[in-house]
Amino acid sequence: MSGDAQPSSNQRATDAHPPPSPPIIKEKAAIGALCVVCGDRACSHLYYGVAACHGCKCFFWRTVKSKLTYVCRYGGSCSISTAGRNACRYCRFHRCLSVGMKMEAVKMDRKLTKRKREKTDGDETDDSGNHESYENTVDAKRAKSDNRLLISSLLLIDKTSSDGNAKLSSLHFVQPSLQNLLDEPELLDGFRSEMSYRATRRADEKLCYDTERRLVTWAIDWCRQTAEIGDVHHTSDKISLLRACCAPLVLLELGCQSNFNHLDDAQIPLCNNSFLPAHQMPPAASFLNWKTIQSFTRWSQRELKPLCLKAKEIVLLKALIVLNPDAHGLSPDAESSIRMLRERVHTALFQSLMENSEPIAAASRLAQILLLIPQLALMGMGVIEQVRVRNTFKKHSQFGEGLLFWQLYGDIFDDVLNSDDSYLEHSASCSPTDSQYTTDSS
């Protein structure tokens, strides 16, 4: 079966005797190394008894929770790999079972207590209002449980994307495309160094280049894994999301790390323990120019810092930036999936806020958090403009290729990519405070 085959829309079936599962490699993967189902990077601990990645973990949970059944069009012998694991759900699920995932480990809804069972058995004597209230309670508990699972998944994505793996790079002998890197995440292993923001030295051109490379790798990991939670599996759709979210996502990370580490407002921390001074010109190779640094510093002090965002709020905000249904080039199916997952993230964010404050205060804080998105998009346009100018006049750095910013945004003469930023212009126009972050060239 080819890796780009698509799952059938009518895959549910009631096959009593499924075909035998494909052969399984007997070697066990170490925790945090490789997923035993598809071979992708595994999470840092076991899920349902085995080392599994986010995609396979969530796929197994949805299948068991919803009691889904599938049918294979190719006799149950499909290859399950990182690139083609979504082509056949039947073979993927049976692969999960074969490697040792336990269905009983999935936390199903708790059984009704004896008292509640007696009440439901006697609905003929109970009024319809009480029964409806009980059903609403069950639905609310189920929704809260799903939201907590979503937040846990996003927190794990944030952790694994920032962790280093101390592996050697395999990019010295190849020039990969964005598609290669999204299909084969292990190609970027050598670029996944530990991200640290202690800001102990001023960044020069080399440190700016290293930071840029690491942050783009981080954004790729965030975008790829978040898209897979929403069942967006086509590489072209992931590239569209990456182009739309990379710059604002990176700016949000830098701002949050600056506040989290209680750094001087006159410094912008970078992920290799260096920093850019807010009141001095940055190195020529920096992906942040003088104008963007000034806008970013004021935005961080006036808008981001007073909110004191918590860890859950930060990862949910990052997910909202990644899940942009207006990203140029999305397929209709991907756009629909992104919108559905974005609604879930909105609900999870509001639920998290409601747990810590009154409804009016929660609604007000939700509005303040959501208003950060168009502001980040506006500053992200400055980053993209700086990168395109640099790509035009200095395509090759003395430290190596400019990695992926070239493929993400092209140069100022690339009309095809220049047309891709219409979503940024639209988002920026929605900002009620965009004039606050515009500085004169003088």
In this structure, are 60 and 9 located in the same domain?
yes
Is 168 a domain residue?
A: yes
Is 337 a domain residue?
A: yes
Cα 156-159-165 angle, rounded to 5 deg: 120
- Contact between 160 and 44 under an 8 Å Cβ cutoff? The reply is yes
In this structure, are 215 and 344 located in the same domain?
yes
What's residue 345's pLDDT? 95
In this structure, are 95 and 210 located in the same domain?
no
- Contact between 270 and 276 under an 8 Å Cβ cutoff? The reply is yes
Is 249 a domain residue?
A: yes
Residue ranges for the chain with pLDDT beneath 50: 1-29, 31, 109-135, 173, 398-403, 416-442
Is 348 a domain residue?
A: yes
Is 124 a domain residue?
A: no
Residues 6+ apart with CB under 8 A from 240: 327, 328, 329, 330, 334
In this structure, are 65 and 180 located in the same domain?
no
Which of helix, strand or coil describes residue 260? helix
Cα 134-140-144 angle, rounded to 5 deg: 150
Last residue of a domain, one of 57, 92, 110: 110
Q: What is the CATH number of the domain that holds 198?
A: 1.10.565.10
In this structure, are 89 and 201 located in the same domain?
no
In this structure, are 412 and 318 located in the same domain?
yes
What's residue 11's pLDDT? 45
Last residue of a domain, one of 110, 141, 173: 110
Last residue of a domain, one of 110, 138, 162: 110
In this structure, are 213 and 316 located in the same domain?
yes
Range of the domain at 58: 1-110
Residues 6+ apart with CB under 8 A from 90: 11, 18, 70, 71, 72, 76, 78
In this structure, are 332 and 276 located in the same domain?
yes
In this structure, are 173 and 248 located in the same domain?
yes
Is 38 a domain residue?
A: yes
In this structure, are 183 and 309 located in the same domain?
yes
The total domain count for the chain is: 2
Is 40 a domain residue?
A: yes
- 245-277 per-residue burial string, b: 16 or more CB within 10 A, e: under 16: bbbbbbbbbbbbbbbeeebeeebbbbbbbbbbe
- The span from the CA of 63 to the CA of 103, in Å, is 10
280 torsion bin: left (phi>0), alpha (psi -120 to 50), beta (else): beta
In this structure, are 184 and 62 located in the same domain?
no
What's residue 109's pLDDT? 45
Q: What is the CATH number of the domain that holds 72?
A: 3.30.50.10
What's residue 170's pLDDT? 56
pTM exceeds 0.85, yes or no: no
In this structure, are 1 and 105 located in the same domain?
yes
What's residue 408's pLDDT? 78
H helices of 99-127, where?
114-121
Is 138 a domain residue?
A: no
How many CA atoms lie within 13 Å of 384's alpha carbon, on the beta-carbon side?
28
- 384-438 residue pLDDT tens: 988 888 878 765 554 444 445 567 787 777 654 444 444 333 333 333 333 333 4
